């Protein structure tokens, strides 16, 4: 039996899980807790408090922490948090023999290997090939992209910066959106992340609002205006979530049109990634947005735009496409990564 510590470390919250690994690939959760990250000066006191609360007599032999930010040589500076983490320091101060840090989207890649049937929703069955690559795309705060390659009986996980590739408009309205964003932000290019992400939802909404495509409801207008006033400050509202919820409920026409444009662009970018990877092992939609707007993802527009690639349509129609429903996929991935140390 091996005792593992898995963590999902973000600027807002830190989630820790104590895991028992007895036989591969089974991992048994023993204890889990979440903490507000900003209440602590560093990760070490959180882990110490967690292990004390878990009442374990043993120190975990291995630990893996998924970090919301870039990881370089097992060190990380967290986004939106004044923490600098170093695996060597964590090993020494926590007394854990093996500690590794991985990017949070890499953790999602590992987590896919531990998902159960109930954790995913299949949009397109396709023709699965277990030896082929697995693709990941995840719209949330930003737009993550990555892939898994099978080597022998195991997968190697590769995060990427594909979300920072260029936004490729396809319709007259999308070309207008591109011009709007270039002018508004006084920039030379627009990344796809500026459109397919939480901030992208707000950008699309502002564009359609300013073009007077549909009238603005007082409820959503108040949320968006508050968010705009708080530019450069800590946000008290989440306009992307408000717009998405209104669109699902069909309570606001401008929000519905915003999310239709968002889903179209999301599907198109997922298709672009799939053309590059040919992930017949499956393409997985990660991130926090897709599970919250499932009716909009399932209505057909996502897959229509996903496969709308001219003579490449038949290739994309054979790729299995899934939505990850389990919000703790990154924590699952951190535990799997720890078990491999």
Residue 266 · residue 302 · CB < 8 Å: yes
In sequence order, the 6+-apart residues with CB closer than 8 A to the CB of 173 are 261
Question: Is 245 marked as a binding-site residue?
Answer: no
Single out the residue of 268, 113, 110 nearest to residue 177, CA to CA. 268
Residue 196 · residue 259 · CB < 8 Å: no
Single out the residue of 67, 61, 89, 92 nearest to residue 7, CA to CA. 67
Question: Is 9 marked as a binding-site residue?
Answer: yes
DSSP secondary structure code for residue 319 in this structure: S
Question: Is 7 marked as a binding-site residue?
Answer: yes
Question: Is 109 marked as a binding-site residue?
Answer: no
Two structure tokens written together for 325: 């429903």
Question: Is 11 marked as a binding-site residue?
Answer: yes
Question: Is 333 marked as a binding-site residue?
Answer: no
Single out the residue of 239, 193, 195 nearest to residue 217, CA to CA. 239
First to last CA, the chain: 14
Question: Left (φ > 0), alpha (ψ -120 to 50) or beta: where does 242 sit?
Answer: alpha
- Could you list the residues known to form a binding site for ATP, using ranges: 7-12
- Could you list the residues known to form a binding site, using ranges: 7-12
């Amino acid at each position: 039996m091996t005792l593992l510590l898995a963590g999902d470390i973000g600027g807002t919250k830190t989630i820790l899980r104590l895991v028992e690994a007895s036989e591969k690939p089974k991992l048994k959760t023993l204890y889990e807790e979440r903490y507000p990250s900003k209440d602590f000066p560093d990760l070490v006191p959180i882990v110490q408090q967690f292990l004390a609360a878990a009442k374990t007599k043993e120190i975990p032999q291995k630990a893996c922490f998924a970090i919301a930010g870039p990881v370089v040589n097992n060190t990380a500076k967290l986004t939106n948090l004044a923490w600098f983490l170093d695996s060597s320091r964590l090993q020494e101060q926590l007394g854990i023999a093996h500690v590794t840090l991985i990017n949070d989207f890499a953790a999602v890649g590992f987590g896919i290997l531990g998902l159960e049937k109930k954790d995913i929703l299949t949009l397109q069955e396709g023709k699965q090939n277990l030896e082929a690559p697995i693709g990941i795309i995840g719209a949330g705060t930003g737009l993550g992209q990555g892939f898994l390659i099978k080597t022998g009986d195991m997968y190697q996980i590769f995060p990427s910066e594909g979300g920072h590739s260029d936004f490729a408009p396809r319709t007259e309205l999308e070309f207008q959106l591109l011009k709007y964003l270039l002018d508004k932000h006084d920039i030379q290019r627009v990344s796809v992340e500026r459109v397919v992400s939480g901030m992208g939802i707000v950008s699309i909404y502002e564009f359609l609002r300013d073009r007077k495509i549909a009238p603005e409801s007082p409820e959503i207008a108040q949320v968006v205006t508050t968010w705009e006033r708080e530019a450069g400050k800590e946000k008290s509202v989440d306009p992307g979530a408000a717009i998405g919820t209104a669109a699902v409920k069909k309570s606001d026409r401008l929000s519905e049109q915003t999310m239709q444009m968002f889903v179209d662009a999301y599907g198109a970018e997922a298709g672009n990634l799939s053309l590059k990877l040919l992930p017949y092992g499956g393409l997985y939609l990660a991130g926090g947005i897709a599970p919250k707007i499932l009716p909009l993802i399932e209505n057909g527009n996502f897959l229509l735009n996903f496969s709308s690639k001219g003579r490449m349509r038949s290739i994309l129609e054979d790729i299995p496409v899934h939505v990850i429903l389990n919000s703790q996929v990154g924590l699952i991935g951190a535990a799997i990564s720890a078990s491999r140390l």
